Amino acid sequence: MKSLTGKITLVTGASRGVGKGIALGLGEAGATVYVTGRTVEEGKAAVSLPGTIYQTAEEITKLGGKGIAVRCDHLEDEEVRELFQRIQTEQNRLDILVNNVWGGYEFFNDGTEFWKEKGFWTAPISRWDKAFQSGVRAHYVASVLAAPIMITQQSGLIVNISFFAAQRDDKGVSYAAAKAADDRMAIAMAHELREHHVAVVSIYPGLVRTESVMKSAEFFDLSNSESPQFIGRAITALATDPNVMQKSGQILVAAAVAKEYGFTDIDGKQPRPITVNEV
């Protein structure tokens, strides 16, 4: 992988899961990585899973980057503004923003039952609100605050972490609509930022071996799965591509990016790019 030494990056929602993996993928390339989240003490997360922003930052530094943990609730605009003001003050630039933070996963249960309701009319209205406020809106607000910094420097990469649910009819109405909104937001932002040499893309992971997935590993076929860090390597490859603007406005699949740029997962395997019909 090419180096991100000297590059300033921000990954939202990085206490665990895909966000943590992305942060580690950027860190192993030498980047300075700001990581946000609400979990600052082990065992006191909103979900029964391990991980804190401080643990993520420490692991980034051990991999050769520089991890900086910032407690931030992305539902609170003032906290997000303070985050970007801090980055501007401390670094005077921002090269990569990864919009990963998300909410509304209450319909996933521990164990074998993953869909709690059958039909959107049986789900609480809050499901929609959480997906759009903690997810789509949070991505929009972070992008609004990142754009002026990147425009000033006439460079940058904004990545929305999305998923194939955006193109499926059977993945839950609120989840599918929110992910589709993330994709369209990336496309429209790319159009407006193109003249400023700022690239915007959506990236789809495959089946990722997050803490949540591994907790119920017996119910998954992990033969073509990806480590969370794999998606970080995909973003690193894009960020170090001098022709990344050619991909701006596209919806990309992490495993396809890996094949194009010639990198593997942390275990040396080459995950096969899946299609929308395989999800």
Instruction: Name the E strands within 75-213.
Output: 96-99, 156-161, 198-204
Residue matched to tokens 């406020």: 133
Distance CA 227, CA 83 (A): 28
R_g over Cα of the chain: 17
β-pair partners for 36: 70
Q: CB–CB of 41/52 below 8 Å? A: yes
- Neighbour count for residue 114 (Cβ, 10 Å): 11
User: If you search the block for the tokens 């051990």, which residue do you land on?
Assistant: 62
Closest CA to 266 of 29, 11, 6: 29
Q: State which amino acid sits at residue 46.
A: A
Alpha-carbon distance 135 to 179, whole Å? 9
* Number of residues written out for the chain: 279
Could you list the active site residues?
175
